[in-house]
Structure 1
């Protein structure tokens, strides 16, 4: 019996320690909490039994205890090093002993502390920081003459809520313009209300104030056709989980990534201050580490919990809440790898708070939408030199890897193709397409959840992108998130018939449409490498998996060849160019910079010929790839598993397609 108890104690102690480290510092997966709590119960029970009276060692008879002088002379004193080794061994094994009281007590305290940390991570924020009373305001989409403002106010005593604004150059005592009043809010919309502040001046900083003591600032977009419209800066990222990696003495709702964004903005010159954050999904993690429910209230509470983070207001002189945020949806705002349509539970419950907190102050829907406005969850807007299309890759998708699989749905696909082929105003030189999941198929883990599971539709979109670059005089950039890693990929136009050197992953002549996929803003990453190039269709430009906080900074500016800092970086360009610089921030540092450009002379672009746009160039690289080097094995296993699963799905495809039509409104 004692031997079995010893084995149970040692194993449960080892599981508690290993699983706690993985769960709290590495990846907060849902299998770990029940594993840790179960093993904690086993450990405490077996420890009690081992130390209890039932396991008293039998008394040693006095005659057996006597030793002769010769025996004593042969007995050697125990060395200090041996005692130290015994103590460390006892700590590592975790088995209690009445002879090693201190080591036993320390073992029990360590395992109890790790169990407590697990419970603290799971429940402290939920129990000690309820969000029903959350009152806040934030800025969403900002145009040259308007600003969308979201207000949440649950306290009846604060109504009516008056909204006022003024230019930031005015003093607080100067005249304020009243936009309007909110007389009542109720639980039907979780006490939220979107307000559009109108009649604003382009390229002007404003402050706003609400009668419930909520305040903030924002800067309007430039007017098209003006000099300032040649420039645009913005940020992009994805994936937020408060207080991860876990820190015991940190606020349970702290989001370090938000604070690092603000510190990065403070270091930028005023001309490069970002106009907005383009956030590409997984704003909440409803199912990580544990799903506590799938009700409407549970989903709403998750959004309130993120917006209750003190990090939105730190530091006070550059608050993240004052940066306009615009959003797309991804799976963890619904359920992991969601592909069951927009009428299946829990999608309706998940979509409600996403619409209230994000869509209500997002940019407008595409002007040529192929669906009714109330069923359109993708957005399009022009700001400065860029025309941006924000995809919804969750709401309308079907099962991947089938002959007629779709990630966008009929209406959204046609809206996207119309956007791609649409001629833009003369000042717009960039089309930017934002997707919550990567276009590249180079991620060998979970490929079917990306555009890699919808290769026919991806090919259709890529052909439209290549054609647009050849014929419209614009350059196209793809932005995505989801992977908790950074990957830059290029997709060369086959019609250019590039040489093998030009198709190499490490070439200086990086031709093709580029994708920059980045995340997380505050979440885990894995040292196991999952990105791997397998062909000449998706060519790796850069892969940076490490970092719990990652975001991209996009700066578009006009290079006219007249001198300045840009000459050092772009000395090989002749004539005026519009230049896009992508800067990768990892854990508070810029580790990689990359540049794309497009010539502005009419005879160089838009001719329909096969003249290539300038290749991308690496400007700065301090990112070092470290890890376990297991990508080959992971890719092999996943590809074999996918082949088997694809075969199974093809056999049941007719049933799946019928079911999908019943569960998806497009």
Structure 2
């Protein structure tokens, strides 16, 4: 029978290998790292004890020439025959060979060291206090927000200048301003707005501390160029994941791959900006080291210290792509729903404001709150109008009758925005949310809009009304889930038959495209499925560590009703969503808005005449929907779903019982 020490050694060795794999290649979160290191400590202790007990493999002859009853050869032969494979697989010491013993121990030691390296190297060796950088945020036809950080006082004052990129660098630069003071109150950051720019023009900027970059202003409203817009969207990034010991600890492969993809696109199709939908930093992954302002600031500095920003392509360095940001939970705390006063939110908000809000678009025209206290934004670029939601700062506890994900002021601002007509030439309202609108994700549903269904219904009713009355189309963009899911939400007034509400079909309705991560883990299980006819699944793609969507809007002539015997060609504004997974286009989807207000209505059948918007259309699909492992992944997803259901029910039962007991005590 195996001794207790050998059982402990075998179990601790298995724990090291299993949880190190999960931690370094699958989910880099708590508590996997500490489990690996604790298991390694236990393994070393038991291994040392076992080695001290084991007889040497080549015993020396006894002194005085005394003969032993058995030869050394016979002694070895009588020992259990530990194979090399058994030793390498179990981590147990071999009674026959110290070489295999030290080899299997070395495997565990390397895994523990890699875990420790992933946990600490970026944090301790790269505090990044001295990082200096510059980037462009929101760009309009005549302005551009330039954010920079300069902690070295010897470089002050910082003079900001710009010029058209078509000119030679030696020609006159236009001075925009001078920053004389930078201090710790803003973590040595400053935002300068470059003004009096020309629409659709390529510029370069220069700072006196040797930071430079380029950008292109957006098109003048009403101009021919304003009929086209391309931008990229994603969410969630973590340096050096999946872990690679040879990588720089701050390398972000997703940024490099995105830069490479953009560089291969035709100039006309290159994105104007990145709409990044939250989890730019992971304060609690792989391990939370603190909750102070300095801890949160250091995480932002680490991302901006990444060598991946220097990745270049035909489109230029990665840092030259303008980024605009929404906030999500890992920039605060996982599944945050405790408002903007409870710790650690105030500490988390500090760097988000300095590094992102300061360079973001303006607040909505009707924010229903003081602009200085608003973290939701609105802007127009070409044929699209945008509203960037903050679904973390103002939310309350989910899954309650009066739960709010937006808060009163933001909800009123969004409803006002939805029902306000757009200027001529703007055919799309694009709503950006850090968490998905759909409740089709069956695990963690309450952290999404699925935990705020009453408010979601209020918002959807306003969206359906806007589509019917304003001659525009509404698109929902989201992130957070580390998976891709396309969902449509048909207006009940359309009266669609069951055929038009089947899962995995293109068709009518509000459309949501939820994508992530830009560079992070994904779960190789299936957690998304349609359960009713409110949220109709269009496409689901869970796999891939690097996922992003490129959205292109342009004018074209399309058939507004492909099901009709004679489709009607109509001049339309066409939106094409291209899903990229690990650098390749795997799925494309097209939606359109007839430019002539009544064209879609005239072309649609009578039972759909209430909608002037044609159905969506799959343009390309390279995703494999069935493979040998799909059934297993679906089963694991169902098990996880059921486990969450039991936990929720148990928690509710406990709270109900404890509440009744407390009530009884109070009455007595």
Q: Using structure 1 for the length normalisation, give the TM-score.
A: 0.91
8 Å Cα contact 2:570/2:599 also seen in 1: no
CA deviations on 1:201-229 (whole Å, 9 max, x unpaired) are 00000001111110100000000000000
Q: 3-state SS of the aligned residue for 2:21?
A: helix
Confirm or deny that 1:431 pairs with 2:429. yes
Q: 3-state SS of the aligned residue for 1:629?
A: helix
Match runs of 1:360-371 below 5 Å: 360-371=358-369
CA deviations on 1:342-399 (whole Å, 9 max, x unpaired) are 0000000000000000000000000011111111110000110001000000000000
C-alpha distance in structure 2 between counterparts of 1:609 and 1:639, whole Å: 42
Match runs of 1:28-43 below 5 Å: 28-43=28-43
Report deviation, 1:64.
3.5
Structure 2 counterpart of 1:12 = 12
Report deviation, 1:175.
1.2
Q: 3-state SS of the aligned residue for 1:111?
A: helix
8 Å Cα contact 2:260/2:313 also seen in 1: no
Structure 2 counterpart of 1:487 = 485
Match runs of 1:519-530 below 5 Å: 519-530=516-527
- Quickly say closer, same or farther: Cα 1:638–1:49, change in 2 above 3 A: closer
Structure 2 counterpart of 1:168 = 165
Of 409, 419, 422, the match for 2:420 = 422
C-alpha distance in structure 2 between counterparts of 1:652 and 1:149, whole Å: 54
- Quickly say closer, same or farther: Cα 1:295–1:506, change in 2 above 3 A: closer
- Quickly say closer, same or farther: Cα 1:640–1:109, change in 2 above 3 A: closer
Q: 3-state SS of the aligned residue for 2:618?
A: strand
Aligned length: 638
C-alpha distance in structure 1 between counterparts of 2:456 and 2:475, whole Å: 15
C-alpha distance in structure 2 between counterparts of 1:67 and 1:167, whole Å: 86
Measured on the aligned residues, the alpha-carbon RMSD in Å equals 2.8
Structure 2 counterpart of 1:635 = 641
Of 430, 443, 446, the match for 1:445 = 443
Compare 325-334 and 261-270 and name the one that shifted more.
261-270
Report deviation, 1:649.
6.8
Structure 1 counterpart of 2:70 = 65
CA deviations on 1:401-431 (whole Å, 9 max, x unpaired) are 1110000000000000001101111100000
- Quickly say closer, same or farther: Cα 1:134–1:222, change in 2 above 3 A: same
- Quickly say closer, same or farther: Cα 1:375–1:62, change in 2 above 3 A: same
Compare 42-51 and 390-399 and name the one that shifted more.
42-51
Taking CA–CA contacts closer than 8 Å with sequence separation of 6 or more, which of the two structures ends up with the larger relative contact order? Answer: 1
Compare 604-613 and 582-591 and name the one that shifted more.
604-613
Compare 447-456 and 624-633 and name the one that shifted more.
624-633
Q: 3-state SS of the aligned residue for 1:25?
A: helix
8 Å Cα contact 2:475/2:511 also seen in 1: yes
Report deviation, 1:603.
2.3
Q: Which runs of 5+ in 1 are unaligned?
A: 655-666
8 Å Cα contact 1:444/1:639 also seen in 2: no
Structure 2 counterpart of 1:661 = none
Confirm or deny that 1:597 pairs with 2:592. yes
Structure 2 counterpart of 1:319 = 317
Structure 1 counterpart of 2:237 = 240
8 Å Cα contact 1:473/1:605 also seen in 2: no
8 Å Cα contact 1:489/1:540 also seen in 2: yes
Of 122, 126, 135, the match for 1:138 = 135
Of 177, 185, 196, the match for 1:188 = 185
- Quickly say closer, same or farther: Cα 1:651–1:313, change in 2 above 3 A: farther
C-alpha distance in structure 2 between counterparts of 1:650 and 1:422, whole Å: 45
C-alpha distance in structure 2 between counterparts of 1:128 and 1:345, whole Å: 28
Of 566, 570, 575, the match for 1:575 = 570
Match runs of 1:203-218 below 5 Å: 203-218=200-215
8 Å Cα contact 2:601/2:612 also seen in 1: no
CA deviations on 1:474-496 (whole Å, 9 max, x unpaired) are 00000000000000000011111
Q: 3-state SS of the aligned residue for 2:396?
A: coil
8 Å Cα contact 2:437/2:449 also seen in 1: yes
Structure 2 counterpart of 1:658 = none
C-alpha distance in structure 2 between counterparts of 1:616 and 1:444, whole Å: 25
Structure 2 counterpart of 1:663 = none
8 Å Cα contact 2:551/2:578 also seen in 1: yes
C-alpha distance in structure 2 between counterparts of 1:414 and 1:338, whole Å: 22
Of 139, 152, 175, the match for 1:155 = 152
C-alpha distance in structure 2 between counterparts of 1:54 and 1:96, whole Å: 9
C-alpha distance in structure 2 between counterparts of 1:268 and 1:241, whole Å: 26
C-alpha distance in structure 2 between counterparts of 1:477 and 1:611, whole Å: 15
Of 196, 199, 204, the match for 1:202 = 199
Q: 3-state SS of the aligned residue for 1:575?
A: strand
Compare 626-635 and 350-359 and name the one that shifted more.
626-635
